[in-house]
A and B are shown apart, each in its own frame.
Chain A
Amino acid sequence: MADCPPNAIKRGADGEVVIDETCIGCGNCQRNCPYGVIRMDAKPPPKASLFSWLLFGAGPGPGEASYAWRKKHTDPEQAKVAIKCDMCSGIEGGPACVRACPTGAAIRVSPEKFLSVARLAEKTD
């Protein structure tokens, strides 16, 4: 992307857009993103394990921790960087949202198939 000073944002082989670790957190990509999918955030602090939460009430519990908790426990010196869904690129097993979906509602389809699924949905409505 032209406005990315360290050239950290790139498009991968399957069409996914990936931001690598050279991101300096300038926020240009977030401001210019036409879909609003990029946000600026710090790496979340580590949480207590499920069992220590269940048995001893440690940490914020399952799920994404609240903003207040993250703000309180993150190192204030740590810079925010740009983050977005990169289809879990580099993680074995593919997109975590699909693996984590218990009912089979979330699936991955290739771009050309996606268009035909969307058209069909319009027709059947």
Chain B
Amino acid sequence: MASVSDAPSHAERRRATEHESFLAHKGMRWLKIAIGLSVAAILGYAFADVEPRPNGGTWYGYTLGTIGALLIVWLALLGVRKRAMTEGRWSLKAWTSAHVYLGLALLVIATLHTGFQLGWNVHTLAYGLMVLVILSGIYGITVYALLPQRLSSNRREMTKGQMLESLAAIDRQLEQAAQPLARDDADLVIDALDQDPFAPGLIARLTGNYRHCRTERALDALAGPMDGRAATLDPAHERVVVLLRKRDGQLEQIRRHLQLRAMLEVWLYIHVPMTIALLAALTAHIVSVFYYW
């Protein structure tokens, strides 16, 4: 018995070592490097003797600014690296791990570079864009860490294609089953079948809150009189209600899938364009600093 109970824990351990997340890559090597870099920058800021006060224009400010600018350019190159499938022993996971942790360290380095002098100018614009990019990135790693598990438990071993096929099968049965209903009731079912159940836009997609869902409306109208006296309903009506419930459940699974997928992707629509804007603002910041030396 002992050997049987030992087996899963052994397998669990092995699987855990093989499936290593980008956040834990190589014993969190990049987290340690990022912490070291941030601590060094903070200590330097505390002990560097600069006159008249810490800001971007002192020798220490220029050092931090150079490191920060190089980091921004290198972090942005992840988008190039992931599309350049060259041969050789490299892994994008290591790049992503370094991207995440060095990106977080950048927040410390750039903030110290500003010397906490912010204003309404192109320099603070570059800083603000950088903060926006990093915050959207923090959202990104949070959802990457939390949501995939919910995505697979919601799938229940079905692919999206199979979910849509199942919906189409329910729709065909529903159309048949609604034939004997009275005109008003049949219209409710036809309305539900005619509606594109996934259309209503970004907010509904992200919140999973689909108002005006005609399937739910039909269910409310048809199932309402059924409560309490189910036995007295005619079988055709009851069959339609059962099928509408099935359709509602299937819609919910697909909508949940779409919601999770949208939450996993939506941040990139901020992260990537803001990175391009940041590179432009950073160029303006550097050029203007040296132009008005």
Which residues of A approach B to under 8 Å, CB–CB?
50, 62, 91-93, 96, 98-105, 107, 109, 113, 116-117, 119-120, 123
B-chain residues with CB within 8 Å of residue A113 when the two chains form the complex: 14
B22 touches A104 (CB 8 A): yes
Interface string of B89-103 (1 = CB under 8 A from A): 111110110000000
Whether B212 sits at the interface, judged by CB under 8 Å, is no
How many A-B contacts at CB < 8 Å in the complex? 55
A92 touches B11 (CB 8 A): no
Q: Roughly how many angstroms separate A91 CA and B89 CA in the complex, as a whole number? A: 10
- How far does the Cβ of B255 sit from chain A's closest Cβ, in whole Å? 23
B92 touches A109 (CB 8 A): no
Q: Roughly how many angstroms separate A104 CA and B148 CA in the complex, as a whole number? A: 13
Whether B19 sits at the interface, judged by CB under 8 Å, is yes
A109 touches B8 (CB 8 A): no
> Which of B15, B20, B82, B144 has the most A CB atoms < 10 Å from its CB?
B15
B90 touches A93 (CB 8 A): yes
- How far does the Cβ of B18 sit from chain A's closest Cβ, in whole Å? 6
A103 touches B18 (CB 8 A): no
- How far does the Cβ of B161 sit from chain A's closest Cβ, in whole Å? 14
Nearest A residue to B15 via CB reads A117
B82 touches A102 (CB 8 A): yes
A-chain residues with CB within 8 Å of residue B20 when the two chains form the complex: 104
Q: Roughly how many angstroms separate A98 CA and B94 CA in the complex, as a whole number? A: 12
